[in-house]
Amino acid sequence: MSEIAKEPSMLLQKELIARNYDAITSSRETGRKVSSTFVPGNLNELLMCFGIINNLPEINAVQNGMRKLSGDYIIDAEKSGHSEDVCTYVKADIGMMGRGNIAPNGKPFPAPDVLLLSYTGCYTFMKWFELLRAEYKCPTLMLHVPYEGDGHSTQNMRDYIVKQLKEVIIPGLEQVSGVKFDIDLLRQYLRNSAKAEDDLVWVLEQGKHKPSPIDAYFGGVYYIGPIFTAFRGTTDAIDYYRALRTEVLGRIDNHQGPVTPEGTNFNDQKYRLVVEGPPNWTSFREFWKMFYDEGAIVVASSYTKVGGMYDLGFRHDPDHPLESLADYCLGCYTNRNLPTRVDILAKYIEEYQADGLLINSIKSCNSFSAGQLMIMKEVEKRTGKPGAFIETDLVDPRYFSAANVKNRLESYFQMIEQKRQGSSRAA
């Protein structure tokens, strides 16, 4: 396939991510400490207060998936005893370690100085870090984030997280880094975060336009890159989201859709979809093409909310720094119960005037997949819009069947068409 065409902001995003990989792989020369941590509920601003670099194993697995390396890594991990049902991000990570632990810049990852487990909603994260802890034998700091089982957080939950931050996480990071915690520095970083979050929300909400100037799933994964990884809290993230906003505004002014990987603006949008679940990474471009070839644009998605539900109003708050970190962790999408996810998706269908809900059910991700059929039926019932279900995997190429996915998508678009004709006849 030819080189993928990218929007200018995508190139900027790529440069930021590359810069973080360089910081990680040169950490032994620069003397900086490295933390492994996860995307949902990450404490990037806090790590920055200690000068610690953020390395995210999920993002490494995504990179390996897109570079077509993950398939072999997963097979290696299975040969060493990890079951077929284990999350393929975990197996891609474990397999990579057995083959030199090479970062996307071609240099080896250093062993982490600390494992910071501030995960939200997915038990796999804990098992994953148990494996890494056995391998690296470095200090492990665990921030336990209570699940929002009743659909909301409570003051007790918030206090519980703040107490752990004060008594476990901050002293632990001080010890690893040798740097004294400065709450005013945290406030400054959180102020930066809130600015970038404002612009990210603005961008994602432009999916309400017709034609939509963004693809909120395939394009969306690029847009969330800096803020969900190592750049939330930095001025780089503020600059990135300002530039992205300007770029999207330019498309709105010209009534243009997003740029497809083939380099043309996707203006002829026939179907507007809300998508639930992570994308497939090993055939990302092929998967995306199946949508724009049929005129389907994604106007909102749940995956672009795994690292924070800013569109529901949350912002990091410099006036309540630790409490705001607690609220952030509690509110990530994967920490929300199923009825809340139904509410969110039904709201997206209405507000973004979507034609329906498409679920990409990921074979090995229990955190997303559990309850998705119920979610689909509930959303259909509430909105009257048809839903559909496809099945792929994150980074295991064995579970991306292009023909099956394409067939299902085509039938779904026909179903939307029939539903439209039915409603215009009735009217």
Residues 337, 58: Cα–Cα separation, whole Å: 22
For residue 76, how many other CB atoms are within 10 A of its CB?
18
Do 64 and 204 contact (CB within 8 A), yes or no?
Answer: no
Nearer to ligand SF4, 212 or 364 (CB): 364
Residue 239 Cβ vs ligand SF4, minimum distance, rounded to whole Å? 29
Residue 85 Cβ vs ligand SF4, minimum distance, rounded to whole Å? 10
Measured between alpha carbons, how far is residue 157 from residues 147, 286, 361 in Å? 9, 43, 30
Residue 60 within binding range of ligand SF4, rule CB under 6 A: no
Residues contacting residue 356 through CB under 8 Å, at least 6 positions apart: 271, 273, 274, 349, 385, 386, 387, 388, 412, 416
Taking residues 389 to 418 in sequence order and writing x for each that binds ligand SF4 by CB under 6 A, - otherwise, the string is -----x------------------------
Residues contacting residue 169 through CB under 8 Å, at least 6 positions apart: 43, 46, 116, 118, 141, 143
Which of 26, 188, 340, 366 binds ligand SF4 (CB under 6 A)? It is: 366
Using the rule CB under 6 A, give the single segment among 65-73, 145-153, 216-224, 365-373 that binds ligand SF4.
365-373
Which of 365, 376, 379, 388 binds ligand SF4 (CB under 6 A)? It is: 365
Which of 367, 372, 383, 392 binds ligand SF4 (CB under 6 A)? It is: 367
Residues 290, 405: Cα–Cα separation, whole Å: 9
Nearer to ligand SF4, 345 or 395 (CB): 395
| Opening angle at CA 244, ends 241 and 247, nearest 5 | 155
Residue 92 Cβ vs ligand SF4, minimum distance, rounded to whole Å? 10
Using the rule CB under 6 A, give the single segment among 131-139, 279-287, 316-324, 363-371 that binds ligand SF4.
363-371
Do 86 and 364 contact (CB within 8 A), yes or no?
Answer: yes
For residue 264, how many other CB atoms are within 10 A of its CB?
12
Across the strands, what pairs with 390? 360
Nearer to ligand SF4, 367 or 383 (CB): 367
| The token pair that represents 13 in the structure block | 């995003």
According to CB under 6 A, which residues from 289 to 348 bind ligand SF4?
Answer: 334
For 37-59, give one letter per residue: b (16+ CB within 10 A) or e.
Answer: bbbbbbbbbbbbbbebbbbbbbb
Q: What ranges in 216-267 are assigned the alpha helix state H?
A: 220-223, 225-228, 235-253
Residue 306 Cβ vs ligand SF4, minimum distance, rounded to whole Å? 8
Using the rule CB under 6 A, give the single segment among 43-51, 268-276, 359-367, 371-379 that binds ligand SF4.
359-367
Total number of residues binding ligand SF4 (CB under 6 A)?
12
Measured between alpha carbons, how far is residue 46 from residues 22, 143, 226, 351 in Å? 21, 13, 16, 34
Residue 126 Cβ vs ligand SF4, minimum distance, rounded to whole Å? 10
Taking residues 89 to 108 in sequence order and writing x for each that binds ligand SF4 by CB under 6 A, - otherwise, the string is x-------------------
According to CB under 6 A, which residues from 68 to 87 bind ligand SF4?
Answer: 87
| The token pair that represents 162 in the structure block | 């703040």
Residue 283 within binding range of ligand SF4, rule CB under 6 A: no
Residue 366 Cβ vs ligand SF4, minimum distance, rounded to whole Å? 5
Residue 124 within binding range of ligand SF4, rule CB under 6 A: yes
Residues that bind ligand SF4 (CB under 6 A): 58, 87, 89, 122, 124-125, 334, 365-368, 394
